[in-house]
Amino acid sequence: MVNTKYELIIKNIKKAINSGKYGVDEKIASENELAAKYGVSRQTVRKAIGQLISEGYLYARHGSGTFVARPKTKRGHSKNIAVVSTYMSDYIFPRVIQGINQVLDENGYSILLKTTNNSRKGEAWCMEELLSKNIDGMIIEPSQSAISCQHQVLYEQMDAMGIPYVFIQGCYEAMMDRPYVMLDDVEGGKLITEHLLGLGHRQIAGIFKADDTQGILRHKGYVKALASAGVAYDPDLVVWYHTKDKTTKPMEGILRIFENGIPCHGVVCYNDEIAADVIKGLTNIGRNVPHDISVTGFDNSLLAHSKGITTIAHPQEELGKKAAQTLLGLIDGSISKKEAHILLEPKVIERKSCF
């Protein structure tokens, strides 16, 4: 959070550099211009520029002004690894971080932890802050990964600085050539849909998240399972939602299916949180789960355990371990970027939410 104009000057100049507005060796605005723009003294501007020079963002050329510095090459071994997650909830991330921490701790590394609240702006802000610190690598869960990344220049800056990174859970489409460790979401979506088909259900609704790649891929698996079973895909049975409307849109979509008189015998939900909300909503309108309608989740979270939800097992701790092992392999050169593409195997966990 920016508290002073001094901090605002630093933040905005960093943002301009990281976004590519200023190129390497390009001259920035003069002290007088910055002082007028922010309504501060030249001394405040000089202090902010001095800080940016010390962090390696700028350099001064006597008599000519201040210019954008070439990105630093990788600094010395700090034994610090940055971990950026979308949320710090008790859903699945604590087990992921447990796996990461175990491997890093065994190898003498410490974690710098940041969260983005699944905001792309939040992700850019976290990365900008972390790039000003001495880190040896980064494990990052991308925010709204199905939407085009607007801060790819920050990843390119890490590449230029020689700082390796590994995506977990999802990956931006334009950066699928970068290292990642993910669950095979297509296969997971296929398996959970096949489970409902195997129970004899044919009219199966699907609820998927539109702004994360996991949602897109799980929907792809749902489509593949229906096609393999000879069941026609019905777009009226599919509900899409975004992060901002996850508490309302999924249940509204299911209610609309019933209100329109569309037969529905089962629901494939994007994750266990959505499944729990759907089960609660269906119960509130007098529908019995699983006797009237079967409901499935995804992730095998504690919520799925407590609510008895049939789901897809998410190897949370294993994913964290694999991500940390992959990053350390990139750091010591024992793993190449081309080898660092790992998909973990999903499996169905049967419970009482299906009949």
**pLDDT tens track for 206-248:** 999 999 999 999 999 999 999 999 999 999 999 999 999 999 9
Q: How many CB atoms lie within 10 A of CB 4?
A: 11
**Range of the structural domain that residue 190 is part of:** 185-314
How many domains would you assign to the chain?
3
Shared domain for 41 and 149, answered yes or no, is: no
Shared domain for 333 and 302, answered yes or no, is: no
Shared domain for 231 and 327, answered yes or no, is: no
Is 265's pLDDT higher than 70?
Answer: yes
Q: SS3 of 93, please?
A: helix
Q: Which alpha helices (DSSP H) does 232-315 contain, by range?
A: 249-259, 272-284, 302-307
Shared domain for 121 and 10, answered yes or no, is: no
What's the distance, CA 140 to chain centroid? 7
pLDDT band at 21; cut points 50, 70, 90: confident
For residues 296 and 311, the answer to whether their CB atoms sit within 8 Å is yes
The CATH number covering residue 309 comes to 3.40.50.2300
Residues in CB range of 334: below 8 A, 6 or more apart: none
Exposed, middle or buried, 148 (CB in 10 Å: 0-12/13-18/19+)?
A: exposed
Single residue among 19, 38, 68 that ends a domain in this structure: 68
Single residue among 44, 68, 92 that ends a domain in this structure: 68
Shared domain for 229 and 325, answered yes or no, is: no
Shared domain for 178 and 103, answered yes or no, is: yes
pTM of the model: 0.81
Within-domain flag for 148: yes
pLDDT at 151: 87
Average pLDDT over every residue of 14-32? 87
Within-domain flag for 337: yes
pLDDT tens for each residue of 136-177:
999 999 999 999 898 888 898 888 788 999 999 999 999 999
In this structure, what are the phi and psi dihedrals at residue 79, rounded to the nearest 5 degrees?
A: 65, 25
For residues 263 and 234, the answer to whether their CB atoms sit within 8 Å is no
Single residue among 25, 42, 68 that ends a domain in this structure: 68
Nearest CA to 269 among 208, 348, 213, 188? Answer: 208
pLDDT at 72: 64
β partners of residue 81: 111, 137
Shared domain for 285 and 189, answered yes or no, is: yes
For tokens 């409902």, the residue is 196
Shared domain for 104 and 46, answered yes or no, is: no
Give the integer Cα–Cα distance in Å for 230 and 248. Answer: 32
Is 19's pLDDT higher than 80?
Answer: no
Exposed, middle or buried, 1 (CB in 10 Å: 0-12/13-18/19+)?
A: exposed
Within-domain flag for 352: no
Shared domain for 276 and 289, answered yes or no, is: yes
Is 71's pLDDT higher than 80?
Answer: no
Average pLDDT, the chain: 93
pLDDT at 74: 55
Give the integer Cα–Cα distance in Å for 73 and 79. Answer: 16
